[in-house]
């Protein structure tokens, strides 16, 4: 008798836990649909309008003095970044927007990078840049590890100019 009662108690608990998860998903979907900042339910695979460049094009752009933006977190930037790159961690883009605007004009070329192909920060920062007025934005897909592995110029520390 007591055994069946315990079992049904656990079944009830699991059912309530599942109901809680379902309710949360429902709330999230409703709130997301109602919010003007709502996310697309399926993340877009790639953003239209953002160019994707490889190592060779990145080297050319770097030699031409194009602005490089490092989308990784500040700690990763401090530990080492492409020389003359500016630190714009994706999460801090809004605080850095004014300084970035003063530094890079709308029509200036920008190259954004992070830690490589699977790192979403660079693509998202590029997407955000395009939505906020900058027009000439490219993502260096291979990112910092490939740049460093190729023996190209890197720097440590905080001399990026718009690092907070």
Partner 1 sequence: MIRVCRAIIRDRRLSFVLRMLVGMTLVLASVDKLFDARGFADAVAAYELVPRILVNLVAIALPWLELLTGVALLTGFGARAAGLVATLLATVYAVAVVSALARGMEISCGCFGDGGAALDRGDVWLRVGLLAAGLQITIAERALGWPATAGTRFLAGRRRRSQQR
HEC string of the chain equals CHHHHHHHHHHHHHHHHHHHHHHHHHHHHHHHHHCCCCCCCCCCCCCCCCEEECHHHHHHHHHCCCEEEECCCHHHHHHCEECCCEECCHHHHHHHHHHHHHHCCCCCEEEEECCCCCCCHHHHHHHHHHHCCCCEEEEECCHHHHHHHCCCCEECCCCCCCCC
Q: Which is nearer to partner 1, 60 or 158 (CB)?
A: 158
In angstroms, what is the minimal distance from the CB of 78 to partner 1? 10
* Smallest separation, CB 45 to partner 1 (Å): 7
Residues that bind partner 1 (CB under 8 A): 9-10, 12-17, 19-21, 23-25, 27-29, 31-32, 35, 37-43, 45, 72-76, 79, 89-92, 115, 118-121, 124
* CB 161, min distance to partner 1, A: 18
Residue 11: phi and psi, rounded to 5, are: -60, -40
Pick between residue 34 and residue 63 the one whose CB is nearest to partner 1.
Answer: 34
Least separation in angstroms between residue 145's CB and partner 1 is 11
Rank residues 42 and 102 by Cβ distance to partner 1 and give the closer one: 42
Report the distance separating Cα 82 and Cα 63, nearest Å.
12
Nearer Cβ to partner 1 (24/105): 24
Phi and psi angles of residue 113, each rounded to the nearest 5 degrees, phi first: -145, 160
- Shortest gap between Cβ of 28 and partner 1 (angstroms)? 4
Shorter beta-carbon distance to partner 1: residue 61 or 77? 77
């Amino acid at each position: 008798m007591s055994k069946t009662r315990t079992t049904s108690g656990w079944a009830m608990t699991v059912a309530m836990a599942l109901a809680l998860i379902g309710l949360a998903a429902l709330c999230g979907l409703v709130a997301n649909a109602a919010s003007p900042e709502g996310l697309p339910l399926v993340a877009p695979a790639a953003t239209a309008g953002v160019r994707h460049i490889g190592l060779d094009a990145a080297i050319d752009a770097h030699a031409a003095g194009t602005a490089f933006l490092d989308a990784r977190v500040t700690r990763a930037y401090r530990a080492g970044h492409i020389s003359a790159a500016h630190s714009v961690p994706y999460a801090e883009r809004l605080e850095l927007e004014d300084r970035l605007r003063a530094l890079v004009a709308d029509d200036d070329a920008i190259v954004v990078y992070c830690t490589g192909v699977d790192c979403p920060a660079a693509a998202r920062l590029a997407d955000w840049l395009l939505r906020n007025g900058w027009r000439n934005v490219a993502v260096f897909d291979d990112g910092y590890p490939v740049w460093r592995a190729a023996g190209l110029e890197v720097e440590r520390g905080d001399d990026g100019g718009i690092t907070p």
